[in-house]
Amino acid sequence: MRELPGVRSAGAVTDVPLFGGSSTGFDIEGRPLARPNERPMTDFRSASPGYFQAMGIGLIAGRTFTPDDRADSPPVALINETLARRYFGNQNPIGKRIGLSRPIDWREIVGVVRDVRNYGLASEVKAGMLPAVSAERA
Protein backbone atom coordinates (compact mmCIF):
# COMPACT_ATOMS: atom_id res chain seq x y z
CA MET A 1 0.00 0.00 0.00
CA ARG A 2 2.88 2.37 0.73
CA GLU A 3 3.78 2.33 -2.97
CA LEU A 4 0.34 3.45 -4.22
CA PRO A 5 0.13 7.00 -5.61
CA GLY A 6 -1.02 9.50 -3.00
CA VAL A 7 -0.33 7.25 0.01
CA ARG A 8 1.71 9.21 2.55
CA SER A 9 1.97 6.51 5.21
CA ALA A 10 0.55 3.08 5.92
CA GLY A 11 0.58 0.68 8.82
CA ALA A 12 -1.34 -2.10 10.45
CA VAL A 13 -2.88 -2.73 13.86
CA THR A 14 -4.75 -5.68 15.31
CA ASP A 15 -7.73 -3.63 16.58
CA VAL A 16 -8.58 -0.18 15.23
CA PRO A 17 -9.46 2.63 17.66
CA LEU A 18 -13.09 3.14 18.71
CA PHE A 19 -14.05 -0.51 18.11
CA GLY A 20 -12.78 -2.24 21.25
CA GLY A 21 -9.97 -4.70 21.53
CA SER A 22 -8.20 -6.98 23.95
CA SER A 23 -6.79 -6.53 27.42
CA THR A 24 -4.36 -8.59 29.44
CA GLY A 25 -2.37 -8.57 32.65
CA PHE A 26 1.21 -7.37 32.61
CA ASP A 27 4.38 -7.19 34.71
CA ILE A 28 7.14 -4.59 34.91
CA GLU A 29 10.66 -5.99 35.18
CA GLY A 30 12.30 -5.37 38.54
CA ARG A 31 9.01 -5.10 40.44
CA PRO A 32 7.42 -7.88 42.50
CA LEU A 33 5.25 -10.18 40.45
CA ALA A 34 1.57 -10.02 41.32
CA ARG A 35 -0.57 -13.11 41.57
CA PRO A 36 -2.05 -13.97 38.17
CA ASN A 37 -5.53 -12.67 39.02
CA GLU A 38 -4.13 -9.48 40.62
CA ARG A 39 -1.90 -8.30 37.78
CA PRO A 40 -2.48 -4.76 36.49
CA MET A 41 -4.37 -4.74 33.19
CA THR A 42 -3.52 -3.09 29.89
CA ASP A 43 -5.22 -2.76 26.53
CA PHE A 44 -3.21 -4.79 24.06
CA ARG A 45 -2.87 -4.11 20.33
CA SER A 46 -0.02 -5.08 18.03
CA ALA A 47 1.05 -2.43 15.53
CA SER A 48 3.46 -2.14 12.63
CA PRO A 49 5.90 0.54 11.54
CA GLY A 50 3.96 3.40 9.97
CA TYR A 51 0.77 2.86 11.98
CA PHE A 52 1.20 5.84 14.31
CA GLN A 53 2.08 8.22 11.49
CA ALA A 54 -0.83 6.98 9.37
CA MET A 55 -3.27 7.48 12.26
CA GLY A 56 -1.79 10.78 13.43
CA ILE A 57 -1.03 9.40 16.89
CA GLY A 58 1.63 11.62 18.43
CA LEU A 59 4.88 10.42 19.95
CA ILE A 60 5.61 11.81 23.43
CA ALA A 61 8.98 10.18 24.13
CA GLY A 62 11.36 7.73 22.52
CA ARG A 63 10.57 6.36 19.09
CA THR A 64 7.88 4.49 17.20
CA PHE A 65 8.47 1.19 15.42
CA THR A 66 10.89 0.90 12.52
CA PRO A 67 11.45 -1.78 9.87
CA ASP A 68 14.34 -2.99 12.07
CA ASP A 69 11.78 -4.18 14.66
CA ARG A 70 11.50 -7.66 13.16
CA ALA A 71 10.57 -11.08 14.46
CA ASP A 72 14.30 -11.92 14.75
CA SER A 73 15.22 -8.72 16.64
CA PRO A 74 14.82 -8.02 20.38
CA PRO A 75 11.11 -7.58 21.17
CA VAL A 76 9.96 -3.99 21.72
CA ALA A 77 6.75 -2.22 22.69
CA LEU A 78 5.22 1.22 22.95
CA ILE A 79 3.02 2.28 25.83
CA ASN A 80 0.42 5.02 25.96
CA GLU A 81 0.66 8.07 28.19
CA THR A 82 -1.91 6.67 30.63
CA LEU A 83 0.15 3.53 31.30
CA ALA A 84 3.33 5.65 31.56
CA ARG A 85 1.76 8.05 34.06
CA ARG A 86 -0.04 5.38 36.11
CA TYR A 87 2.77 2.84 36.42
CA PHE A 88 5.97 4.88 35.99
CA GLY A 89 4.95 8.25 37.49
CA ASN A 90 7.87 10.65 37.07
CA GLN A 91 10.26 7.88 35.96
CA ASN A 92 11.26 7.64 32.31
CA PRO A 93 9.84 4.32 31.04
CA ILE A 94 12.09 4.23 27.94
CA GLY A 95 14.46 1.27 28.21
CA LYS A 96 12.46 -0.47 30.91
CA ARG A 97 10.86 -3.82 30.15
CA ILE A 98 7.23 -4.87 30.31
CA GLY A 99 5.91 -8.39 29.95
CA LEU A 100 2.59 -9.97 29.13
CA SER A 101 2.52 -13.74 29.37
CA ARG A 102 3.97 -16.06 31.96
CA PRO A 103 6.63 -17.26 31.57
CA ILE A 104 7.18 -13.61 30.88
CA ASP A 105 7.74 -12.42 27.33
CA TRP A 106 9.75 -9.27 28.15
CA ARG A 107 9.64 -6.37 25.68
CA GLU A 108 11.71 -3.22 25.92
CA ILE A 109 9.68 -0.01 26.01
CA VAL A 110 11.03 2.15 23.18
CA GLY A 111 8.37 4.86 23.09
CA VAL A 112 5.39 6.55 24.69
CA VAL A 113 2.50 7.60 22.44
CA ARG A 114 -0.55 9.78 22.99
CA ASP A 115 -3.69 8.19 24.39
CA VAL A 116 -6.33 6.90 21.98
CA ARG A 117 -9.97 6.17 22.79
CA ASN A 118 -10.32 2.52 21.88
CA TYR A 119 -13.87 1.87 23.07
CA GLY A 120 -15.74 4.87 21.66
CA LEU A 121 -15.49 8.64 21.91
CA ALA A 122 -17.19 8.78 25.32
CA SER A 123 -15.10 5.95 26.79
CA GLU A 124 -12.42 6.24 29.42
CA VAL A 125 -8.84 5.94 28.15
CA LYS A 126 -7.23 2.81 29.56
CA ALA A 127 -3.58 1.92 30.05
CA GLY A 128 -2.31 0.61 26.72
CA MET A 129 0.61 -1.39 25.36
CA LEU A 130 1.45 -1.92 21.71
CA PRO A 131 4.02 -4.60 20.85
CA ALA A 132 5.68 -4.39 17.46
CA VAL A 133 4.42 -6.51 14.59
CA SER A 134 7.13 -7.45 12.17
CA ALA A 135 7.20 -5.17 9.11
CA GLU A 136 7.32 -8.27 6.88
CA ARG A 137 3.95 -9.40 8.28
CA ALA A 138 2.24 -5.99 8.13
pLDDT in tens, 55-89: 999 999 999 999 899 888 999 999 999 999 999 99
Beta carbons within 8 Å of 116's beta carbon, 6+ residues apart = 17, 55, 57, 80, 125, 128
- Give the pLDDT of residue 138: 40
Q: What is the pTM of this model?
A: 0.86
Domains in the chain: boundaries: 24-131
Calculate the CA dihedral of residues 86, 87, 89, 90 and round it to 10 degrees. -140
C-alpha to C-alpha distance for 18 and 29, rounded to whole angstroms: 30
Q: Which helix (H) or strand (E) holds 53?
A: helix 51-55
Give, for all 138 residues of the chain, the pLDDT tens digit. 677 787 778 888 888 777 778 888 999 999 999 898 899 999 888 888 989 998 999 999 999 999 899 888 999 999 999 999 999 999 999 999 999 877 788 999 999 999 998 777 888 888 888 888 754 444
- Give the pLDDT of residue 28: 95
